[in-house]
Chains A and B, each alone.
Chain A
């Protein structure tokens, strides 16, 4: 972002960066930056809070009045990504003859469909569709059980495959959450700590790592700290 600010400024366009990583803004020194210590992925801070978002923008645009730069100003409100876990009901076991994760993925399909209708678009579909999520979980379980990942996975782009599964769950969860909107890491925690699918993804990642696959193949299947 800061690099682009320098490029645009050189082209005659004034810029303001909403910085999310202060050390990077210090290093790259864009002409004007408002550092916002908000959850990563939420540069305006709070979803569905127009008043707050306007305050951030007003603080950012105020930097256009500075006579010279670079200027790096801290927005006074800090928001932590780490919040209490969300209350998000998962469906009870329906078909005891299939894997728990497959049963679960099928069980949340209606919630996913409602979410997509409300949002108007889905971000599932990098390499598999929502219809293919249960089968993908089944193949990841095969990897956990010892099958070579290169032979059983529906797509060998493991990052994209796991993105699609997690995105399917997170979009469905938006319709299942009971209580306030989830904070920055809340649905990630829910997916990896509460769902059967999350457990399968984590176990498959460990199995692929232990099979000697290259670092990027397994590492980016989940957030790095998992």
Chain B
């Protein structure tokens, strides 16, 4: 099997947390919505704190920043694409274009980055850092989040 096939097979075998009675938000029209990116690529703005090996916290990325370091700990996937083009992981320029064209209402002032390699139960993210990130996005008036996994 190739690297990606192995990773997909391995990840498929991991236990995934399940959610009873999951919440469902009926969003406003996209053209009126403020959109934020939340990625699990462990990106962080140059000079900010790096991610630790099993880091359950998140970093805030201001809308203007493009000098982002790839801090993901897994050696098992491509780290090169993001250096060819940040947008292939963190589509910030695409969002700016969509806002300019009136497709989305606006781009959020702050975006969020977690590390994708997490303990299997993801308890800290579920009960602590995830809700904290949600609160930060709510303060910024975010209506829609696009999640990009790494």
A223: Cβ under 8 A from any B Cβ:
yes
By the criterion of a CB under 8 Å from any partner CB, how many residues of chain B are at the interface?
81
- In contact, A16 and B17 (Cβ under 8 angstroms): no
Contact for A53 among B17, B67, B91, CB less than 8 A? B91
What separation, in Å, do the CA atoms of A8 and B4 have in the docked complex? 29
Given contacts A21-B12, A123-B70, A50 and B122 within 8 Å (CB-CB)? no
CB 8 Å contact bits of B14-56 with A (1 = contact, 0 = none): 1011110011111100100100001111000010001001000
Residue A13, interface by CB 8 Å: yes
Instruction: Write the B109-143 contact mask toward A (1 if CB under 8 angstroms, else 0).
Output: 00000101000001001100011011101100011
Is A28 within 8 A of B144, CB to CB?
A: no
Q: Tell whether B89 is near chain A: CB-to-CB under 8 Å.
A: yes
Judged by a CB distance under 8 angstroms, whether A48 is at the interface is yes
B64 at interface by CB-CB < 8 Å? no
> In the bound complex, do residue B16 and residue A224 qualify as a contact, i.e. CB atoms below 8 Å apart?
no
Candidates B3, B8, B81, B114; contact of A47 at CB < 8 Å: B81
Q: A44-B89, A120-B66, A162-B75 are in contact. Are A223 and B3 (CB under 8 A)?
A: yes
Pick the contact of B147: A4, A40, A46 (CB < 8 A): A4
Interface size on A, residues (CB 8 A): 82
The answer to whether B97 touches A54, judged by C-beta atoms less than 8 angstroms apart, is yes
Question: How far apart sit A142 and B25, CA to CA, in the bound complex (Å)?
Answer: 58
Instruction: Give, as a whole number of angstroms, the nearest-CB distance from B113 to chain A.
Output: 11
B73 touching A44 by the CB < 8 A rule? Answer: no
A163-B73 in contact given A8-B137, A14-B144 (Cβ < 8 Å): yes
Q: B12 → chain A, closest Cβ, in Å? A: 3
Among residues of B, the one whose C-beta sits closest to the C-beta of A16 is B146
In the complex, chain B residues whose CB is within 8 Å of the CB of A41: 41, 77-82, 89, 150
Of the A-B pairs whose beta carbons lie under 8 Å apart in the complex, a sample of 14, sorted by A's number, is A6-B23, A7-B130, A11-B138, A16-B145, A16-B147, A21-B7, A40-B4, A41-B78, A47-B81, A47-B85, A123-B70, A162-B75, A174-B83, A185-B3
